[in-house]
Structure 1
């Protein structure tokens, strides 16, 4: 009798282990599928495929200058989206600075959108001073919403015609010149 109980318990444990492994494989396949779908258009922000025009927006920077999509056409630019509640965002600022320097981008060609309160955004504004035009808005405010940003940090590289060249996470700044 004890032997039979041990065999049934072993079969039950193996069944549970099998179920957990199948769930892990399914989760991994789903992640790979979403990454491959996102990368199929060169962007891991599906709403902004490579070749699409940047959305229309209008916002005021921390210096009081008005920033609008139509004013950025004519020169390459990069949009960086940060959130004050994002633990990774601060670590990507040096990469943005390096990208701007490597590509000879002026502050009016680098638009940094910081989500959160103005007091919490102060550190971002300080670090980006002289490198970017900074817009502070609520966490997912009008500009981030226009670009369909749902995760932070996010970057959108745009050519002189206002077309998306690359869009996604911090690796967007380090791939392709």
Structure 2
């Protein structure tokens, strides 16, 4: 049997994660890390910071398949140009011409060079597919970041 029939039971779940809220009154530096469309809730935080004229340091690390797959490209470029946000992008399948990094998954070396060091006391917000979030949080912990400072939101199947 393939497909669903009327009356078949379904289980529907919302996003899987923990405390995933940034407030303008939060004082710690923020590192956002998004995989693919996982950047969407992170953009809500970026926009809240801009609306509040926040001065807390904000950084966004986005992992996308190719330059054409980047979400919020022009908006992020404007924020970056205005000095409101540091934006770094890692490409997993195809890089733009002249990119110094070959395409591939985020590595410990990438995170070491693109996120604040552990003593900076940053709060991390990581969002994306289950595998991406697990990979990134494992790398951050291995680099010495306090697991309590890492907030996650994930999507996808088990």
Structure 2-normalised TM-score? 0.39
Rg larger for:
1
Structure 1-normalised TM-score? 0.36
